């Protein structure tokens, strides 16, 4: 699989991992566009949000709950933050493996 995020999951490409469990991986963005810029990905390859299926409900709710938790843990929750997922070319998606950006630490 020639997917950079699958390689990060497989640990063949390094990343600054914040959190990991059976379903998801959370790591710092390599080119942060805010003081806090963290990526949340499912370990299984899903191309984008447009490709989620009914069977992914548990995975997706789990991931969203971890976003909230980690926003709290890294200290940006009180001031507020942004959660973003880009879909396809016009959506600005560069890496074709579903991910959410967690951005904060400044007024966006």
Mapping DSSP onto H, E and C, the string for the chain reads: CCCHHHHHHCCCCCCCEEEECCCEEEEECCCCCCCEEEEEEECCCCCCHHHCCHHHHHHHHHHHHHHHHHHHHCCCCCCCEEEECCCCCCCCCCCCCCCEEEEECCCC
- Smallest distance from the beta carbon of 5 to ligand 5GP, in angstroms? 8
If one asks whether residue 48 binds ligand 5GP (CB under 6 A), the answer comes out as no
If one asks whether residue 95 binds ligand 5GP (CB under 6 A), the answer comes out as yes
Q: Which CB atom, from 47 or from 86, has the smaller least distance to ligand 5GP?
A: 86
Show which residues are catalytic: 99
Whole-number Å distance between alpha carbons of 10 and 91: 27
If one asks whether residue 29 binds ligand 5GP (CB under 6 A), the answer comes out as yes
Q: Which of 2, 89, 94, 107 binds ligand 5GP (CB under 6 A)?
A: 94
If one asks whether residue 36 binds ligand 5GP (CB under 6 A), the answer comes out as no
Instruction: Tell me which stretch binds ligand 5GP (CB under 6 A): 27-35, 50-58, 59-67, 71-79.
Output: 27-35
Question: Which positions ≥6 away from 55 have C-beta within 8 Å?
Answer: none
What residues make contact with Zn ion under the rule CB under 5 A?
3, 5-6, 45, 97
């Amino acid at each position: 699989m020639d997917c950079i995020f699958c390689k990060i999951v497989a640990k063949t490409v390094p990343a600054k991992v914040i959190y990991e469990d059976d379903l998801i991986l959370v790591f710092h963005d390599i080119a942060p566009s805010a003081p806090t810029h963290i990526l949340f990905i499912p370990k299984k390859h899903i191309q984008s949000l447009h490709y989620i299926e009914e069977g992914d409900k548990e995975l997706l709710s789990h991931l969203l709950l971890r976003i909230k938790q980690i926003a709290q843990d890294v200290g940006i929750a009180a001031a507020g933050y942004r959660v973003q997922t880009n879909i396809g070319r016009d959506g600005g998606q560069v890496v074709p493996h579903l991910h959410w950006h967690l951005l904060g630490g400044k007024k966006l």
